[in-house]
Copies of this chain bind each other. A is one copy, B any other.
Amino acid sequence: MSWPTVAGLEITTFQQQMAVTYGERDGARGVPATVAWLAEEMGELARAVRKGTRDEQLHELGDVLAWLASLANQLDLSLDSAADRYVNGCPKCGASPCKC
């Protein structure tokens, strides 16, 4: 099975945009610093989910996605390939909906 397309944003396009926008700076900071930033953004997302507005939640979802993409770039790994793990549904039981 392959992914159908619905003419929206492709994850690889987003990851490439992050490479252009932040690649040089994040590369200079190094992987551990990027993990730390991602963890910080994760905390901001958790806070927004608990007591933020929808706009704040959307903002923080975007930031976590951005730092996740930046980390993938530094690891030279593709988020598109990472998502393949779920292409047929749950990677553990192989079903969609999951039957685990």
Contacts and interface: CB of A to CB of B under 8 A. Distances in A.
Nearest to A96: B21
Contacts of A98: 21-22, 25
Interface residues of A, number: 60
What is the interface of chain A mostly: helix, strand, loop, or mixed?
helix
Given A42-B38, A42-B39, A77-B61, A86 B14 contact: yes
Given A57-B77, A68-B64, A77-B61, A10 B3 contact: yes
Given A5-B13, A66-B86, A68-B68, 8 more contacts: A6-B12, A22-B98, A23-B97, A39-B46, A54-B77, A58-B81, A58-B82, A64-B68
27 contacts: A3-B9, A3-B14, A5-B10, A6-B10, A6-B13, A7-B10, A9-B10, A9-B12, A14-B83, A17-B86, A17-B87, A17-B96, A20-B89, A21-B89, A21-B96, A22-B97, A25-B98, A31-B49, A35-B49, A42-B42, A59-B82, A59-B85, A61-B68, A61-B77, A61-B79, A62-B85, A66-B83
